[in-house]
Amino acid sequence: MQLIYCYIEKYKALNNAGIHFDNRYECSVEKNGEQYELTINKAEDFDALQNVHDFVWGDSNISSISAIVGDNGAGKTTVLEVIGKYFRAYEDYSDEPFSIFICECTKSRNLKIFIQGNIQLEQISINSKMKCCIFDLKNKEINEEDQMTVAYVTNILDSKHYYGAALDSDRFIKRENSRNIGHIELSEGAVLADALEESIKEGKYLYNPIERYFSNEFVRQLQYLKSSKEKSLSLHSVEPKILWISIENSKHLMRRIEYNIEPTDKAMEYIDAINEVFKKLSNSSENSFIRNLMICFIQEVRLKSRLQFELYAEEKSLNFFRTVTEDKKNLYANPIEVFERFFKICRESKFDEVLEIQPYVDVIESFKRNKKILFESEFPWLIPINLDKNTNKEALLDFYECIEKVPLFIYDKFISFEWAGISSGEYALFNLFSKLYRVSEMINGRYNLAKYTRNPKSCLILLDECEITLHPQWQTQVIDKITEFFKEMIDDPNMKIQIILTTHSPILLSDMHQSNVVYMRQEETLEKSSNKDEQQQEKQIKLVIESGRTHKQTFAQNIHELFTDAFFLKHTRGTLAENTLDKINQQLENMEKNGMNEIANSTTLRQLADVIDHIGEPVLRNFYKDRLLKLHKQWESKKLETAKEVYAQLSNEEKRLFIEHLLQEADED
């Protein structure tokens, strides 16, 4: 199923807006009293456009890609918001303005019309020669084949996505409902709201949504890397080659602990005892990590326990550390033995009545499985992991998925992970594809949210300015890479993916066919004043939505044409450059018009010549050079006339001396 048209009665700046995502069809909505007539016709060039569509997407699981372009502030992202908010089954928006969504069935070419908002089916009459079915999205009986999974993806952090996602329990319920209908939101704001939700559930004492956000992002990216290697797929984005594992230095860790814990706190005795034990061991990354993990455990017990620390300890664990410290035979030289013995005593001492011990045990088990890969380093605090080896990725993911279940890992960051050798632009591309990977996992039913969906056979992906921070070279490739990504990552061969994106990039637009481009611009109009006592007119901004038919071809078009036509640019140069050209032109005009007695001198001409030499456009540069050359000749002629006048006023003797001076200079030259 493919969305070809939507009508929006009223949403923010959109008023009675009809938007075609596919110009094979011509659709319109007319109001007559309380009734609405929906007209749908095939375009005159339907067959030609269908041939183009079949040639490009015939054997692909991509049904189409459409782009929304135009002025800043025209409402491009707002269109995506409308689709994401209202185009979902089982949601009731009866108290809001209505929307109409028209979809084409991929195989039968039949049309399905979906309505949402304060309108009833009987209020709509359909004028069309094609077979159409109409559905109310509030209806609980809509079949799976009549649904689309909708995913919204962007790398832009926008507060409205955050505040619109979740801040209190009622909104959390609403977010779960949106997941129940298969709606997937991977905007930065929504991802941050997810992290907030998880932090609240973890408890106020571990409240750190920012760290949770980065941890979730890292896991998603790591899963994407691992999956691409498992499937032997070509990586669609830039792949980090190295990951740094940083284990917090003991001095830094203790400094933070001492800042937050009173010296008289019983927990400090345990922490001091742990440090004494590990002073006896070698200064390796393995020992550093296990020491930090044990200190983390003590801190969690302290934070969670409302009773006195020693009620749970019964001195057994502390005595254990004293025994190990005083053990001259070094019975526990292996840090893993120290850890396992300690946690055995913790269970005996009823520590597990305060918190779950198992996550810590799982971390050590993963550590033992993967330590030869992850912790073989000559540096005790910093470990480089080579990501070219898939076994390293598997070990890293196994270890990370265990350690992130330790609550204070997020709160206290006693160990951290960071991609190395990747620029901000490369990271943006990497992060984008990790989000698309999450969408693919939901579609395939392998991610936890996918169990709530009703398994529709089509998915609509809304991409908001996916080219942000991307180098132009990557912009030339990103659309092709996205289509290849979904061809490779979707399991069901019958699943169809439609993409609607917003963009400010003419490079991306050159990958779009004209019939799949929506143009939005703001037009300034004069309207009568709303004040009856005033006859003057007021300036109003009107939103104009145009289809590709009114514009130049976009597919394989040159970028200059796209800048001026699709993005409504009045100038294709920067404003500073335009102002400089205006200044050059003004000075040349003044000299040409008023003469050069007071305006020009040799310094002025040299300065203008230097500036003109640095103009990049050759036609414009040569035009200004020709004008300057003519002025220079005039200036030289004027100097010669002045010299002749002075010579005529000289005496005969002065003329003789002047001629001798010229001859002498000529001989020297």
- pLDDT tens, residue by residue, 173-187: 445 444 433 477 787
Residue 636, helix vs strand vs coil: helix
Residues 642 and 604: their CA atoms lie apart, in Å, by 20
Which has the closest alpha carbon to 588: 557, 628, 560?
A: 628
Between 522 and 83, residue with greater pLDDT = 83
Token pair of 87, please? 């185009």
Residue 237 CA: distances (Å) to CA of 467, 478, 603, 638: 13, 9, 53, 65
CA distance 646 to 630: 25
pLDDT tens digits, residue range 236-249? 667 788 888 888 77
Cβ burial, residue 171 (10 Å; 0-12/13-18/19+):
middle
pLDDT average, residue stretch 203-225: 76
Q: Distance between CA atoms of 248 and 254, rounded to whole angstroms?
A: 10
The mean-pLDDT minimum among 112-116, 129-133, 166-170, 589-593 falls in 166-170
Helices (H), 185-244: 188-202, 209-230
Cα–Cα distance for residue pair 652/499, rounded to 1 Å: 91
Look-up: residue for tokens 């030609």? 48
What pLDDT does residue 602 have? 61
Listed ranges 151-155, 255-259, 461-465, 518-522; the one with the highest mean pLDDT: 461-465
- Phi then psi for residue 170, to 5 deg, are -60, -40
Q: Which tokens belong to 557?
A: 């078009």
| Among 549, 416, 453, 429, residue whose Cα is nearest residue 45 | 549
- Please give the Cα distance from 289 to 335 (Å, whole number): 10
Domain range list for the chain: 242-413, 575-652
Q: ∠ CA(376), CA(378), CA(380), 5° rounding?
A: 90
Q: Report the side by side order of strands in the sheet with 149-153.
A: 184-186, 149-153, 458-464, 496-502, 62-70, 517-528, 537-547
pTM (2 d.p.)? 0.76
Distance CA 112, CA 3 (A): 9
